[in-house]
Structure 1
Amino acid sequence: MSTKLPTEEDILRPLHQTSKKFYLLFGAAALALGIFLVGWGYQLWEGMIVTGLGDWGSGGGSTWGVYIGLFIWWVGIAHGGIILSAAVRLLGMDRYMPVARLAELLTIGGLSAAGFFIIVHLGRPDRMVTSVAGHYHITVNNSPLVWDVTVITAYFVLTATYLSLTIRYDVTHLRDQLPDRLEPIYKVMTIGYTEKENEVVERMVWWIALAIIIMAPLLLHGGVIPWLFSLIPTMPAWAGAIQGPQFLTIALTSAISGVIILSYAFRWAYDWDHIITDDVFRGLTLWLGFFSLLFVWLQLHQVIDGSFLNSVTKTHATEAKVSNPFYLIPIGTVTGVLAYIFAQTIRPSLFSKKRALAISFLVLLSTMTEKTLFVVEGLEHPMFDIYRAIPGVYVPSLIEFSSILGTVGMVTLMFLVVAKVIPVVELHAVEHMREGHGPGPRRAEEPTTGSEVTDD
């Protein structure tokens, strides 16, 4: 591991250096988003009939599909990202300070993508005003859509506040090294800033982090979102108290995978080997293994519960799920990732950052597929299946597939733009690493393994 100490110039490198890699990635992300926007424009023109969605009833099929599956997936990534950042601050997990802001920005990007899917799935964007804003006092008690909008809005405001408080310190202390062309933005970010507020801000950030840790399992991705599914008794594939912890573990698994990918990308692009160290990747990989274990374990609970001593309809829904390759492959993939991480703890030489990157992509693809299947299977196997004679089959359309790449492109563009405006690694992280001459001491709550491996 490199013994070079990080400097302010290191974390400001993305703001001042623009390589061909940046332009290529920007172009690819913009193209992906553009393709989806064209498809969405076609959907707005022709109506939702151009998607693979069908009417639940005599038409058969599924009224929810990729759009809602990806909505849950992005919300999970967002909630998991801010939980990771909050845990770093609240539990003093100093090793992960260099990636805390990446996790916070991932939350902003994930919530933006999730909110975008709500608008896309409404069919007509104006319904956000006519159906939600205009009748909020009526619909808030009964509409899953309004609950979704409420949760996303509240969490977005909470995260934006959390992020902006920490940015003020960085922008003020690095102002002389920041681009002059962005002076108006920096003035807005630091309105009323004084050195006296630093201590107050630290306390505020700590309390917000505590609120996030408490709210996540009770109200957010461990609460409201899974409650919207688990409390519908006519959908046996959804019903059950296990959905809360299941959603939360999938959220954390997906978020850690996303942070690993972002960390690898920034380290590779800006030579941050001495900032985002091998130790950080090793620790994140072990946490990925821990939450993957919980994910697989809770899936096992669902399968056993649905297969034995249950209602005929829930047993039927479970049998359909466990015989579907779109369920077996993701679960098998996560199990394989778990086996690799376990083997890595026994034989540390098996670890490498490229392998960590690869398994992170596999986990994200698996959780995305599982969430989409969860949504579709719940609708295709209702309690009262009175239209069995006219079965409907849901097959995602090209527009829906393009929405996957489109929202990934949108979040990628956000990171590329943000990296040109503010440091994506906190100044506090650099100061801490310099004071401690490294990424910080190992703590009891962090998993540890053997010797470092530096291969890329």
Structure 2
Amino acid sequence: MTDNVDRMLRPLMHTSREFYPFVAILGLVFVVSVYAYQQQLVYGMGVTGLNDVTIWGVYIANFIFFIGISHAGIAVSAAVRLLNAHRYKPIARIAELLTIVSLIMAGMSIVIDLGRPDRAMLLILEYANRFMYSPLVWDITAVATYLVLSTTYLYLPMRRDIKVAMERSTGWRARLFKYMLPLYEEGEEATIDRLSFWLAVTILPVMVMVHTTVAWIFSLLSSRPLWFNAFAGPYYIVAAVASGIASVMVIAAVVRKIYHWEDIIKPDLFRGLSNFTAMTTLVYLYMMMAEQLAALFAGPSGEVFVSEEWLFGSFAALFWLMTTLGLVIPFLYMLVQAFRKDYVNIEWTAAMSLMLVIAFWFKRYMIIVPTLSIGVQQVGIYSPTWTEIAILLGSFALPLLLYTVLTKVVPLMELEVEHDA
């Protein structure tokens, strides 16, 4: 058991040579994005491809995307705690960290999209007056609640592992871990276990509420083609779960390879997640078909026009590439793998999961841009500028950087997993 605990703590105690170049590259991309954002602040939203009609673009696509993949952490961790799915315990904290960094980036995406970010203070000052009437305020409330609860849910069970790390380290690491354990008491684990159970019970409905309120931001705008519908909430939640679980599989495969945890993060774990992802992807494909069928054959003229642009017009190439390469092919691969008893190819499963994640980002883009740019007033296809692209790249570099740094600060697994073995 001691040897395995040392292996689990190795990312905190030792740093490979590859770590620093990787962090440097991510840091450089982020610095470039900060410069691009500074240009946007100085010269205004005119440096973007947005206009008075296409008011949202890649920034809001990013917001929906990161809110979506944040669902994975709590979904996996709550399944471990509430459903006794203990075989997924080795990746529970890996998924929880994904939730935290994704929610941080989702909140930052909203700020980036504001031409005057200082005016965000008005949402706080006028919160009571706007709460009953603004889906945006509902969403901010849900996201903030979700972030606080998720951070608490991550930290409380981690205290016992931080204590073990403190006892096995020296110098600045020991001091850092000591600062991370305020008011620690021997025997607090039983209380923390009870708190964590009820936090899991509380967070699950909050998780559903978060993406439902994101959907309402769009679906309550009755004048926007393809946005105004009753099943937007479930539609967005299914996409969130599929993209989130796929993201967890990608990260788990990378962590497993880097730290040689093949005997800890076992193949059957990927098989179970892959099967679940395949089913949620199938449900999402069905919802996409239902959406397009209703729009083409019985929708108002605006919905017919936007749907035709999706399927046969200016967005057709992106739509069909996203659907076939990004959704159908990964689904078919995972489906075939599910019927092969006791077989899972982790590398290919991770690759297919990455394709799903990329496809779901472009699906968020497709939700926003066609409806705004051609759905009401045909102002032409929105095209992001170098400023938006630089900020977009930075918005992916920053969560990767945060996640990488966190692997050097917090244990990636619950150390007591070895007691259960």
SS at match of 1:69: helix
Q: Distance in 1 between matches of 2:137 and 2:171?
A: 42
Residue 308 (structure 2) pairs with residue 319 (structure 1) = yes
Alpha carbons of 1:180 and 1:167: their partners in 2 closer, same or farther (altered >3 Å)?
farther
Picking from 401, 405, 408, the partner of 1:413 is 401
Matches within 5 A, 1:27-426: 27-56=24-53, 62-129=54-121, 131-217=122-208, 219-221=209-211, 223-323=212-312, 324-333=316-325, 334-347=327-340, 351-382=344-375, 385=376, 387-388=377-378, 391-426=379-414
> Partners of 1:377 and 1:94 in 2: how far apart?
44
In the alignment, the residues of structure 1 paired with residue 344 and residue 178 of structure 2 have an alpha-carbon distance, to the nearest angstrom, of: 44
Deviations 1:187-210 (A, max 9, x none): 343222223321221121111111
Shift, 1:20, TM fit: 1.8
Would the aligned equivalents of 2:246 and 2:277 in 1 still touch at CA under 8 Å?
Answer: yes
> In structure 2, what residue type is equivalent to 1:102?
I
Structure 1 residues 287 and 178, CA, compared in 2 at 3 Å: closer, same or farther?
Answer: farther
2:146–2:206 Cα contact (<8 Å) kept: no
Distance between the aligned counterparts of 2:179 and 2:236, measured in 1? 37
Deviations for 1:170-229, whole angstroms, at most 9, x for unmatched residues?
112332113531445433432222233212211211111112223333x121x2111111
> Counterpart of 1:411 in structure 2: which amino acid?
P
1:161 deviation in Å?
Answer: 0.7
Deviates more, 1:334-343 or 1:316-325: 316-325
Change (3 A) 1:297 1:180: farther
Which structure shows the higher helix fraction? 2
- Cα deviation, residue 350, structure 1: 7.0
Rounded Cα–Cα distance in structure 1 between residues aligned with 2:15 and 2:5: 18
Q: 1:228 to 1:116 in 2, by over 3 A?
A: same
Any conservation in 1 of the 2:278–2:331 contact (CA below 8 Å)?
Answer: yes
Deviations 1:283-308 (A, max 9, x none): 22222212211211111111112122
Partner of 1:23: 20
Determine the structure 2 residue equivalent to 1:449.
none
Is residue 7 from structure 1 mapped to residue 10 from structure 2 by the alignment? no
Q: Which residue pairs with 1:442 in the alignment?
A: none
Q: Is the 8 A contact 2:374 2:381 kept in 1?
A: no
Q: Structure 1 residue 423: deviation in Å?
A: 0.5
Counterpart-to-counterpart distance in 2, 1:240 and 1:429: 45
Kindly state the Cα deviation for residue 54 of structure 1 after the two structures are TM-superposed: 1.0
SS of 1:394's equivalent in the other structure is: coil
Matched-pair identity in %: 31
Root-mean-square deviation over aligned CA pairs: 2.0
Distance 1:358 1:393 in 2: 31
Distance of 2:405 and 2:418 partners within structure 1: 22
> Relative to 1, partners in 2 of residues 1:162 and 1:357: Cα closer, same or farther, differing over 3 Å?
same
Helix, strand or coil: the match of 1:297? Answer: helix
Deviation, structure 1 residue 412: 1.3
Paired positions, count: 417
Q: Tell whether the 8 Å contact from 2:219 to 2:232 is kept in structure 1 after alignment.
A: yes
Contact 2:268/2:344 (CA < 8 Å) preserved in 1?
no
